[in-house]
Amino acid sequence: MLFADSGLSDASISVLLAIWSLTSVVFEVPSGALADRFSRRGCLVASGVLQAFGYAAWVLFPSFWGFAAGFVLWGLGGTLQSGAFEALLYDGLAANGDEDLYGRLNARVDTIELIAQVPVAVIATALFSFGGYELAGWVSVAMCLASAVIALRFPEPERDDEDDDELGYLATLTTGLRASVPIKRAVLAVALVYAIDAFEEYFTLLAQDWSVPTVWVPMATIGVPLMGAAGASLAGRLPFRGWALFASGALLIVAALLAVPLAIILLGLFYGLYRFVLVHVETELQHRIESDARATVTSVASIGAEFVAFAVYALWVLGSAVAIGVMVLVVALVIRRRQ
């Protein structure tokens, strides 16, 4: 909404999101290797700081190039977190022999992340009412810096010093890339499904297009992350269902065709089913990784997702949400054939 209210067209907004994805494409795998070679916790700390700088750029320079600079900084921060967090979580469990609990814990993390959007939506509404985008932006900067401080307290399993001496950065990168080949189906599944999450960036624009006043958009869409949280939570308790992603795509298409405020309910159902599938494919990938370069392998899946995300941005410009819904159906077909 900030971009649209600053005078940017849908095409310009999609270009900005493409810049964000391009940054991830360039730095995703190298940052994963950085986490494997040095410190995953350190990467999480740096991630929060860089994302804070990104939001600051948006507040200080509210123009296309200011937004672009912010997305580059956010993209850098995102790549440092991607892979590093999953690897830190899985290896922390594995150190105690509890790696089988990863799926359930991953589902809880996703659930908490999505539920947190509810109070954030309420706060965003209040901040926008009192201080507009500027106040909301500076609070976002503060929150990112707070996340970096919290990350400093994360425990990190000790590494084998001898292995660290033998494997340099480039060797770690190569090891991670090679380890992705035997489990390419799991990597591809995560890449395709995770890429759909790029559509989340358009939820607020959808609400505006469906005649919801700007000030009420955060509250109107508050149910969407809640449905996503419900789907993620169920993924920790129920086995994978092949029809779930098909159903989510169909719901999205119907919602886009209706294009009324009540269609946000269908958007929430779409997101809940999507998150259910995402948790399952992410968990399956972590269980299949046998290499120590876990963050690098996870980043390989993430970089694949960024390539597919370009299609999401293009489809939004060319055909809006209906076209993206068709894409979800295609992804569902590919995933089901590769099971």
Residue at a domain's end among 138, 164, 190: 164
Residues 65, 184 within the same domain: no
Q: How far is the C-alpha of 136 from the C-alpha of 118, rounded, in Å?
A: 15
pLDDT, residue 164, reads 47
- If asked whether residues 210 and 99 sit together in one domain, one would say no
DSSP secondary-structure letter at 158?
A: P
pLDDT for the residue numbered 227: 93
pLDDT score, position 13: 84
Tally of residues, the chain? 339
Tell me the CATH number at 72: 1.20.1250.20
For helices 263-288 and 294-337, angle between their N-to-C axes, nearest 10 degrees: 120
Q: In which domain, by residue range, is 141 found?
A: 1-164
Burial of residue 123, with CB atoms counted within 10 A of its CB: 0-12 exposed, 13-18 middle, 19 or more buried: middle
| pLDDT at residue 68 in the model | 94
Low-confidence ranges of the chain (pLDDT < 70): 159-173, 175-177, 182, 319, 337-339
Q: Reduced to 3 states, what is the DSSP secondary structure of residue 75?
A: helix
CATH of the domain at 203: 1.20.1250
Residues 9 and 113 in one domain: yes
Buried b (16+ CB within 10 A) or exposed e, 24-60: bbbbbbebbbbbbbebbbbbbbbbbbbbbbbbbbbbe
Helix (H) or strand (E) segment spanning residue 197: none
Same domain, 310 and 185: yes
pTM of the model: 0.75
- Please check whether residues 50 and 187 belong to one and the same domain: no
SS3 (DSSP) at 338: coil
Residues 156 and 188 in one domain: no
Question: Which tokens in the block code for residue 164?
Answer: 């660290």
Tell me the C-alpha to C-alpha distance, in Å, between residue 223 and each of 76, 203, 220, 276: 30, 12, 7, 16
Contacts of 199 (CB under 8 A, 6+ apart): 312, 316, 321, 324
Burial status of residue 192 (CB atoms within 10 A of its CB: 0-12, 13-18, 19 or more): buried
Predicted pLDDT of residue 138: 94
pLDDT of residue 255: 93
State the pLDDT at residue 336: 74
Report the alpha-carbon angle 285-287-289, nearest 5. 70
- Predicted local confidence at residue 98, as pLDDT: 84
Same domain, 220 and 313: yes
Claim to verify: residue 182 and residue 145 sit in the same structural domain: no
* Number of domains making up the chain: 2
What pLDDT, on a 0 to 100 scale, did the predictor assign at position 339? 52
Picking from 164, 188, 220, the residue at the C-terminal end of a domain is 164
